[in-house]
A and B are shown apart, each in its own frame.
Chain A
């Protein structure tokens, strides 16, 4: 029987399937971090249970860590306590921890791929909704809550309903200044912040196939922003080349065996999806969000849609979002002054993102009115950036290159955007208060963020590229 990619991987991991019950799904790799794990460890203690497969569990500290002076004790007491708890719990339950000071430390969704832990055909979970990132390698990867973290600790399995499948094809060639981030913001703007709920999304088509692994991760990362728990892309030569030689990737005979299996991981030609959507790459412009959910996005040259064009029942929420942002409907954002630019998060903090920004800002200066933070996704990304001299480019431009962590994406640490300020951000969520109480977030690609940093206002990056 022909199967979709999701079905192939899912079916290979079903421990038990019984009518009327969710499947018992085996989990190959469990990633954990300091925020969503402590209550799960407590649960184990209360039940008197060990972590069943500690070797299949990897921990890092990312959400709550400072991005300056990481080797000094964390100043904020609760954050320090939470990070210390992770260290203590990992030691007690025998889990490898890439904590602060470790050369592998970083955002959980950045380190998994770069260490070769993320592999095609795996099932992977983490107590973090952006776990979908790992789907870029052709893995089933999704975010879970803390009760489920405890479940995976105790059993290496999850009770899980098999998801519906959606295929999103993007064909054609991206225009100048248009990147993977624009593709995904465009898709979300078309199908809404709830349009993917209940589905795992397979991204396909020539525009997706042409993307690097880093770019594919950006796409899969934001699947959850349309409600889909998972997003994935069939592995191909680009995937295999990325994985080969990484720290924990299979090698030698193991590699050959793995590769032979990975090459079977694609949706069969006549496989049936529950939903299929098609988009054309040429229709996509550099994108920007104007509201308080990631579905409220538009091409940067467009006007914010008029409230009266929204469904009647939704007009109140829509207007509330625009009021929060301090925007008028039916107006353009071009030229609006910006206070902060944040380049980072599990969506866009990989070496390729930093290279793209550095390439654009070389011999340019940030505008005076803007504070620019670049937060690399991991110690390895940070080191690589320094090896390539990107740190010098950023310094010269007046950008601050910080140390790795989730940082201003969710403002759990000190990296908060002040109330009322506008932040052009490469992160994934523009929710009210996400980057700090009353902070206003505009989601964009790293290129569009770099353009805003240089001009100090919302700018169509294509216009600056034309000058070159």
Chain B
């Protein structure tokens, strides 16, 4: 798994609540059998018209915005369990998603792929949207070790929570399978004891 420590980047703001996984990657694009290439259909129906021409008013099509941090409204990633949502976001070049609330399965899928989901307060989320509204190139710094996210322009910062185990996985690039496989004898003992 990809390692993550620190990131300083401009952000792409998507100030919409309840963004579900069908918006992130519609079901009709789930037919691939590899993990790569989903980025081109990220937010497909918000990003492109029926004739595949880009929708000019969608933020991913606006050259004013760039960066590796996606910032979205609350309850991001609700809906289906498709990990393709996390793959698509990552494939499109994002390393971090910030929201004031994440759906459970999405959050787990993101962490399992080295895509860092950061939950901040409604107020801090509003501060980010405000800063990006004023300066499209506003910079955020994400420091995983210290669990801190900072808006460079105003120096406002917020702490964020992350499970200590998952944090060490991200920093070291380990995944859950490595962890459990090391305890295989326990699994066999559990099965025998039943």
Interface of A toward B, CB cutoff 8 Å: 15-16, 20-22, 24, 26, 35-36, 38-39, 42-43, 47, 52, 63-64, 78-79, 81-82, 85, 127-129, 131, 143-148, 150-151, 154-159, 161, 193-194, 197-198, 224, 227, 229, 292-293, 295, 313-314, 316-317, 320, 410-412, 416, 419, 429, 431-434, 437-438
Contacts and interface: CB of A to CB of B under 8 A. Distances in A.
B18 to A, nearest CB: 5
B57 interface: no
Given A145-B109, A227-B103, A412-B31, A24 B17 contact: no
Contacts, number: 174
A24 B23 contact: no
A157 B103 CA distance: 22
Contacts of B191: 26, 156
B81 A129 contact: yes
A158 B126 CA distance: 36
Interface string B81-105: 1111010000000000000010111
A15 B20 contact: no
A194 B18 contact: yes
Of the listed residues B103, B109, B126, the one surrounded by the most CB atoms of chain A closer than 10 A to its CB is B103
A127 B190 contact: no
5 contacts: A63-B27, A155-B184, A155-B187, A197-B75, A437-B26
Contact of A317 (B18, B126, B164): B18
Given A36-B82, A293-B18, A429-B22, A151 B176 contact: yes
Given A128-B80, A161-B163, A411-B27, A26 B33 contact: no
Contacts of A78: 31-32
B112 A147 contact: yes
A283 B177 CA distance: 47
B34 interface: yes
Contacts of B73: 317
A36 B81 contact: yes
A224 B106 CA distance: 12
B56 interface: no
Contact of A147 (B34, B75, B176): B176
A433 B45 contact: yes
B33 A85 contact: yes
Contact of B34 (A24, A39, A154, A432): A39
